[in-house]
Amino acid sequence: MADIGPTTCRGIGVTGLSDLELVRLNTYWRAANYLTVGQIFLLDNALVLEALRPEHTKPRLMGHWGTSPGLNFIYAHLTRVITRRDTEAVFVCGPGHGGPAVVANAWLEGTYSERYPHIPRDVVGMARLFRQFSFPGGIPSHAAPETPGSIHEGGELGYSLSHAFGAAFDNPDLVVACVVGDGEAETGAAATGWHSNKFLDPVHDGAVLPILHLNGYKIAAPAVLARIPTDELLSLFSGYGYYPLLVEGGFDGEDPMEVHQRMAVALDYALESIAEIQSRARSRSRTGVSRPDWPMVILRTPKGWTGPKTVDGLAMEGTFRSHQVPLPDVRTNPEQLAQLEEWLHSYRPEQLFDHQGRPVAEIDEFVPVGDRRMSANPHANGGTQLVDLELPNFSDYGVEVLRPGVVLREATRVLGTWLRDVTAANSTNFRIFSPDETASNRLQDVFEVTDRVWEATIRPGDDHLAPSGRVVEMLSEHQCQGWLEGYLLTGRHGLFNCYEAFIHIVDSMLNQHAKWLKVSREVDWRPPLASLTYLLTSHVWRQDHNGFSHQDPGFLDHVATKKASVARIYLPPDTNCLLSVADHCLRSRHYVNVIVAGKQPQHDWLDRQQAVDHCTRGLGVWTFASTDEGTEPDVVMACCGDVPTLETMAAVQLLNQRLPALKIRVVNVVDLMRLESASEHPHGLPDVEFDALFTKDRPVIFAFHGYPALIHRLTYRRANHDNLHVHGYREEGTTTTPFDMVMLNNLDRFSLVINVIDRVPELGERSASLRQEMVDARLEARQYTRVHGEDPPDIVRWTWMQRRPDIAPGNPGGAVDGQ
């Protein structure tokens, strides 16, 4: 650890800057600060060539000043080292609410005007830049998809480090400079993110340079890391495995040139250290090489640095009061308006911009060119870097299904054989992320071709650990999601497999990513990214051993609220359907895909081609199980999900045996969003097709994987909604057997039969004895589990019996094409 001055650290010699370099650096910083203040306050008079009047200012002042001068300071220094070293770097802005600073730098670098020609790099463009910021019809106050160079996903704090390391994976020449704000540093996700250095391979990956920016305060309270003793602070990050470089300054009127000098030395040292770490790792055998202590910078500067010292008699610079808008009443308070004018003039804009408002030559010469500008780096616009995956033909991995509903298989285990070869064929742009569950979720065949990435100690007996592994596991869903998002945002592909109940941990991260996808779809210079694909297994219906805490399918409800252009949900009923859906999702672009599939043995229903056809339609009639024979059915038995499909098929078999005259139509749903109206979702079925499948007036008994309310929400516009009766998870669960679990929630076959009897008017009193038999069957099954600790043999060994010999075994036939 080191308190930086112009000196030698850890054997690497660095020197300070010349007077000319310091002047250019400070000129750029002043210009960025001026542009930041202008965005927050000004509607007109961009260069303050005349005295400020109230109408020159915005009626509603938005934005965050407090963090912005520090961000500009860091950006300026990174710009210098990029130019000096020809470094390829991107800027991850943890304090994303410092959006005006990021926008200001993009405009100074020229990228903003290239992306938005109507905002040129002159006084006209400057005025438009100022007006649009946090203004109706303009741009948000935080770093957003509209901001060149940004991969910041929103207002929620905590994920900048995870995004940064995800961006560095498999990018060996890239340096990701990641600013972590002192408010963000208090989040659990950020605390976990510091451990990403145990997963970064210096041979094949790039480098992350964390910059912890401590300006002392959050919105109203002191920041924890800003108030602990320096020795404790440095020890904390040494304990995380970093070599912290402490830079402090700007307090009590200190000359900024002194602070510039210390920061320049720190960054030169950090970049030299990174180069040495990578050179050493890439030029020798890994044997005996310990994990490096990557450098990081801890920067202490005043909050609201260079802004007003006091406002209305209260201290402003260096306090929490500078967090947002230091002068909130410039339109109505002449003293504050005068302070704003003095503040703007303090940057001496006449020295920063020529008479036409263009940055002066000193700034142009300071800025890197082309893709070396952080706002123009292609890795921050990942769609430009995206290369299609090489995907083996998933049908080659399919299973034989000679008769439907007879053979049981672990669907995700079969999927693992395909993912193994996907991983092998895409060794630099595909990774699997999971919170320590890849093998538990039956995907362990991928370890035939790769390992879990691991840079910490490896001991004899450890299972598939190596620095170059392509499975990235840490017991933090936040971390896995953040890594994968960073990986996707920089133009690669991945898969996140997780226990269904605990994917809720990343609900808010999913929000931010879905919003990024929605907005970036509307930004014409951002090409589509690879989709974010979740594989949720160990699901609600087979968490009978872990119990109630592990039983929650509600992530589907959460995803279904996202924009229709983004959200996709798939519940394949068997192995071949899972393969087809997974192939589709990994090929897709710019979606959030959720696949729900059990890892326990389940019945297979469709052969390879049938599965492809069924998944292409997204839903359809299973004619091999239906008895309506093309006429209007007495009842529609619908199902979505592997366990609901099993229970529906078992109920249908009971009805066939006991009520052979009953005309039943079986509809299986794979693509959940097909249930929505075509006017609401691009996958939605037109009403005429929905009515053809589900009828306009017959009872529909729907067995669903998740909460019943979701099906009602998706179908409430449909003509037959009043006749839709959904069985699903009712927040009932415990440690029990698989069949008792479905009985607890009335999803079992006996409950489905009972509901058919209750809902089909033609059955009436003549089926009362069968109804009573089903009630008794539930009681007997419950009693059996309580005595024997397992489900009854006839439940465990159940198989589908083909009723109609005129239809070839396994041929679902006759499905309605809903494309």
Q: Give the model confidence (pLDDT) of 398-455 as tens digits.
A: 999 999 999 999 999 999 999 999 999 999 999 999 999 999 999 999 999 999 999 9
Going by pLDDT thresholds of 50, 70 and 90, the confidence category of residue 9 is very low
> What CATH number is associated with residue 624?
3.40.50.920
Q: CB-based contacts of 528: which residues, under 8 Å, 6+ apart?
A: 383, 386, 521, 589, 590
Q: What is the DSSP letter of 218?
A: S
Q: CB-based contacts of 37: which residues, under 8 Å, 6+ apart?
A: 65, 307, 340, 343, 344, 347
Q: Are residues 429 and 362 in the same domain?
A: no
pLDDT at 11: 53
In this predicted structure, the answer to whether residue 302 has a pLDDT above a threshold of 70 is: yes
In this predicted structure, the answer to whether residue 596 has a pLDDT above a threshold of 50 is: yes
Are the beta carbons of 406 and 799 closer than 8 angstroms? yes
- The residue among 815 and 278 whose pLDDT is bigger is 278
In this predicted structure, the answer to whether residue 599 has a pLDDT above a threshold of 60 is: yes
Are the beta carbons of 486 and 165 closer than 8 angstroms? yes
Q: Are residues 539 and 404 in the same domain?
A: yes
Going by pLDDT thresholds of 50, 70 and 90, the confidence category of residue 367 is very high
Q: Are residues 512 and 630 in the same domain?
A: no
Q: Of 544, 566, 601, which one is at a domain's C-terminal end?
A: 601
- CA-CA distance, 666 to 23, in Å (whole number)? 76
Number of domains in the chain: 3
Q: Are strands 88-93 and 174-181 parallel, antiparallel or unpaired?
A: parallel
pLDDT at 5: 44
Going by pLDDT thresholds of 50, 70 and 90, the confidence category of residue 280 is very high
Give the H/E segment covering residue 279.
Answer: helix 256-282
Q: Are residues 78 and 155 in the same domain?
A: yes
pLDDT at 202: 96
Q: Of 378, 402, 423, which one is at a domain's C-terminal end?
A: 378
Residue 801 lies in a domain: no
- CA-CA distance, 591 to 530, in Å (whole number)? 8
pLDDT at 285: 63
**C-alpha 33, offset from chain centre:** 32
In this predicted structure, the answer to whether residue 813 has a pLDDT above a threshold of 90 is: no
Residue 388 lies in a domain: no
pLDDT at 498: 96
Q: Are residues 427 and 500 in the same domain?
A: yes
In this predicted structure, the answer to whether residue 255 has a pLDDT above a threshold of 50 is: yes
Mean pLDDT of 115-143: 96
Q: Give the model confidence (pLDDT) of 533-591 as tens digits.
A: 999 999 999 887 888 888 999 999 999 999 999 999 999 999 999 999 999 999 999 99
Q: Are residues 82 and 218 in the same domain?
A: yes
Residue 386 lies in a domain: no
pLDDT at 26: 97
* Six token digits for residue 794: 């006839």
pLDDT at 326: 97
In this predicted structure, the answer to whether residue 700 has a pLDDT above a threshold of 80 is: yes
Q: Are residues 432 and 517 in the same domain?
A: yes
Q: CB-based contacts of 557: which residues, under 8 Å, 6+ apart?
A: 706, 707, 709, 710
Are the beta carbons of 55 and 143 closer than 8 angstroms? no
| Helices and strands (DSSP H and E) totals, the chain | 26, 25
Mean pLDDT of 315-335: 96
Mean pLDDT of 5-29: 76
Q: Are residues 678 and 769 in the same domain?
A: yes
Going by pLDDT thresholds of 50, 70 and 90, the confidence category of residue 819 is very low
pLDDT at 809: 36
- CA-CA distance, 693 to 818, in Å (whole number)? 9
Residue 517 lies in a domain: yes
Q: Are residues 373 and 398 in the same domain?
A: no
Q: Are residues 266 and 179 in the same domain?
A: yes
* Cα 429 to Cα 47, 421, 424, 468, 687, distances in angstroms: 47, 14, 11, 13, 41
- CA-CA distance, 176 to 173, in Å (whole number)? 10
* Six token digits for residue 357: 């408002």
Mean pLDDT across the chain, nearest whole number? Answer: 94
Mean pLDDT of 144-170: 92
Find where tokens 């080292």 sit: 81
> What CATH number is associated with residue 499?
3.40.50.970
Residue 282 lies in a domain: yes
Residue 786 lies in a domain: yes
Give φ, ψ of 395 to 5 degrees: -65, -25
In this predicted structure, the answer to whether residue 130 has a pLDDT above a threshold of 60 is: yes
Give the dihedral sign, CA 358/98/52/29. negative
- CA-CA distance, 281 to 288, in Å (whole number)? 11
Q: Are residues 286 and 233 in the same domain?
A: yes
Angle at which helices 68-85 and 256-282 pack, to 10 degrees?
50
Q: Give the model confidence (pLDDT) of 36-49 as tens digits.
A: 999 999 999 999 99
Q: Give the model confidence (pLDDT) of 186-195 as tens digits.
A: 999 999 999 9
Residue 588 lies in a domain: yes
Give me the residues paired with residue 177 across strands: 91, 209
> DSSP alpha helices (H): ranges in 55-186?
68-85, 99-109, 111-115, 123-132, 160-168
Residue 814 lies in a domain: no
In this predicted structure, the answer to whether residue 810 has a pLDDT above a threshold of 50 is: no
Going by pLDDT thresholds of 50, 70 and 90, the confidence category of residue 772 is very high
* Six token digits for residue 441: 């979720």
Going by pLDDT thresholds of 50, 70 and 90, the confidence category of residue 818 is very low
- CA-CA distance, 313 to 549, in Å (whole number)? 54
Mean pLDDT of 484-495: 98
pLDDT at 746: 97
* Six token digits for residue 446: 């991928």
In this predicted structure, the answer to whether residue 608 has a pLDDT above a threshold of 80 is: yes
pLDDT at 786: 95
Give me the residues paired with residue 637 across strands: 666, 701
Q: Are residues 114 and 80 in the same domain?
A: yes
Domain that holds residue 688: 619-796
Give me the residues paired with residue 434 across strands: 473
Are the beta carbons of 133 and 126 closer than 8 angstroms? no
In this predicted structure, the answer to whether residue 814 has a pLDDT above a threshold of 50 is: no
